[in-house]
Amino acid sequence: MGSLPHVIEDFMGVLQVLSDGTVLRSKTINFNIPIINDDSVLFKDILFDKTYNLHLRIYKPTSPPSSRKLPIIFFFHGGGFCLGSRAWPNCHNCCLRLASGLNAVVFSPDYRLAPEHRLPAAIDDAETALKWVQTQALLSEDESEGDAWVNARGVDFDQVFVLGDSSGGNIAHHLAVRLGAESTGIRPVRVRGYILMAPFFGGVVRTKSEEGPSEALLNLEILDRFWRLSMPVGETRDHPLANPFGELSPRLEEIRLDPVFVIVGGAELLKDRAKDYAERLREMGKKIDYLEFEGREHGFFTDDPYSQIANQTLHHIKTFILANST
């Protein structure tokens, strides 16, 4: 007689995988993160993918300037491709801060999560979200159609920036590669740059920062678990979806990319991979900026977007956006 199903993977009870393949997700999570009710920003949810029932949250300043259209910021949340949602308080607060601090319209899409939906599902969904905005841009040419919040009179579809945190940073990289320079496949939407915050990259050979010391809320065991559950079955961390420089990864030297900005904390396990990514792209002649905050651990911006260090980060993001806007 076989044994009863038992837990083989556990993310603090939020996500559990049983020995028979069953995936359990908690519907009652105690975040202990207060939601910041910022009256300077309005937000609403909208369905962007009927096939997978995926929603995105749109944020816009309550009193935008009348002299110009607002740029668009796409924000892809982190969570190792296994956790997270547009509705989680840390993601929500971060997007409120981005909308108010950058005076922009922010789109925060959900994407399918692993292990129920392994990669490249999350990247495919991110591309679908961008194409949804492309549809809105085309519809808004007729002012009677499309979503009223996403209208060419108020937003600038020619000034789009993609920002990803952790696994969201990995998504941002893959979007940059898929769309290529000038993002011609989604016109009239035009991505001007990509901002990767501590991008979640991997590899079979460990880096020095991965080997330790562990962070307060992140360690190598957790990183490995994320990869085990999110990668296509049987693949290693050198798969192109994890390692931008793996043996089978696209030759980035041959791909034209829009500007990239990499931001990472100096005490992050992911620091060495982020730094190596930026250095290699620079050697290839890509337009790339790199910023490292000494002593900071993973999530220093997204977990407290109103802190002093978050304000500094926002300043650098704003500078990057201004430098790469027409």
pLDDT in tens, the chain (326 residues): 467 899 999 998 899 999 999 999 998 888 888 888 778 999 999 999 999 999 999 999 998 877 789 999 999 999 999 999 999 999 999 999 999 999 999 999 999 999 999 999 999 999 999 999 999 999 887 665 778 888 877 899 999 999 999 999 999 999 999 999 999 999 999 999 999 999 999 999 999 999 989 999 899 999 999 999 999 999 999 999 999 999 999 999 999 999 999 999 999 999 999 999 999 999 999 999 999 999 999 999 998 999 999 999 999 999 999 999 97
- What's the confidence (pLDDT) of residue 143? 61
Q: Where are the alpha helices (DSSP H) in the chain?
A: 89-102, 121-139, 167-179, 220-230, 271-283, 308-323
Q: Tell me if the bond preceding 5 is cis, omega within 30° of 0.
A: no
Residue 296 class from Cβ within 10 Å (0-12 exposed, 13-18 middle, 19+ buried)? buried
pLDDT at 2: 60
Rounded Cα distance, 155 and 133, in Å: 11
The whole-number pLDDT of residue 144 equals 59
Q: Which two tokens stand for residue 270?
A: 């992911």
Task: Give the per-residue pLDDT at 142.
Answer: 67
Q: How far apart are the C-alpha atoms of 136 and 140, rounded to whole Å?
A: 6
Model pLDDT, residue 65: 74
pLDDT for res 146? 74
Q: In whole angstroms, what is the distance from residue 77 CA to residue 54 CA?
A: 14
Burial label for 226, CB within 10 Å (0-12, 13-18, 19+), is buried
Question: Looking at residue 29, what is its pLDDT?
Answer: 83
Q: Which residues are catalytic?
A: 166, 268, 298
pLDDT reported for residue 119 = 98
Phi, psi for 136 (deg, rounded to 5): -65, -40
pTM of the model: 0.96
Instruction: Quote the pLDDT of residue 1.
Output: 47
pLDDT given at position 114: 98
